[in-house]
Amino acid sequence: MPVRVPLTTTGPITEATFVSRPNQFIVEVRLNGRTIRAHMADRGRLIDLLNPGIRLLLAPRDEVGRKTSFQVVGVYHGDEVVSLDTQLPHRLVVAGLAAGAFPQFVRYLRMQRDVTIGAHRFDFRLGEGLHTCLLEVKSVTRVSSGLARFPDVPTERGRVQFEALAQIARSGQRCAAVFIIQRHAAEALVPDEEVDPAFARTLRTAITSGVEIYAYLAPLTPEGLTLGAPVPVFTSPQAIPQAIWHA
């Protein structure tokens, strides 16, 4: 059985039309003839996805005290649905770990979330005792010329996290990161040197320090996000063998 998580657990999905994005966390949409505001969890620029008139998928927000009634969970890019919920990949990884869908982590029987080590917080710690693995999960939504690229906006937090993972890995602790590519097709994952050269350098250092980097396709439909095939990770487009990249 495929590993899949629903787009939302708060209620039915509603389709709306994108109007504008006043700030990083809010979008204005047309819904049932009215212009309303919805919350946006994805802090990326999304300039290739958010254009006036594009169709968005909204989920209801049932938390008390919220200023908006809807959360943006997806956007149509042609016929493809792209997730805009940065927590959806974490839910998918949790489901995948429970189902044994990640062979590199099947030895671990325990999972702890939001682990703090020093000044840094990581998504998961797998296992217990002396045999553990720190695991960070990243959401990828940008695919260009057949390549998934991360990040799509400079990420100081991401750079600091991977610097910390590199340092911890050098001490002998197992560390890993899983990049969930929320698109139907990509031939490989690379750091986006143009968007964030500092993160690209840090990722290369993390790899040489022993941090394991994995990437998986995760096609999205209105029914949910599905764990797909793994794709290779390269430190730059120039490092990709021609046999793999046909862009």
Nearest to 215 by CA among 244, 242, 243, 172: 244
Mean model confidence pLDDT for the chain: 89
Nearest to 86 by CA among 143, 120, 41: 41
Residues 84-90: what's their mean pLDDT? Answer: 85
Write down the pLDDT at residue 247. 46
Give Cα 232 distance to the centre of its chain.
16
Give Cα 129 distance to the centre of its chain.
29
| pLDDT above 80 for 47 | no
Which tokens hold the place of 76? 């149509």
Give the type of residue at 99: A
Radius of gyration of the chain (CA): 18
Question: pLDDT tens-digit profile of 144-184?
Answer: 888 999 998 889 999 999 999 999 999 999 999 999 998 88
Question: pLDDT tens-digit profile of 110-136?
Answer: 999 999 998 899 999 999 888 899 999
Write down the pLDDT at residue 185. 85
Half-sphere exposure of 68 (CA within 13 A, CB side): 18
Which tokens hold the place of 221? 């439909």
Alpha helices in 40-187 (DSSP H): 88-99, 156-170
Largest Cα–Cα separation, the chain? 58
Give the Cβ contact number of residue 188 at 10 Å.
Answer: 21
Nearest to 86 by CA among 151, 27, 28, 134: 151
Question: pLDDT tens-digit profile of 60-86?
Answer: 876 545 567 888 888 888 888 888 877
Write down the pLDDT at residue 66. 59
Nearest to 186 by CA among 152, 141, 235, 225: 141
Question: pLDDT tens-digit profile of 178-231?
Answer: 999 988 889 999 999 999 999 999 999 999 999 999 999 998 887 789 999 999
Q: Residue 151: is the preceding peptide bond cis (ω within 30°)?
A: yes
Sign of the torsion angle spanned by Cα atoms 141, 146, 152, 155: positive
Indicate the angle between helix axes 197-208 and 156-170, nearest 10 degrees: 10
Give me the sheet containing 147-150, strands edge to edge: 142-144, 147-150, 188-191
Contact (CB, 8 A) for 92 and 5:
yes
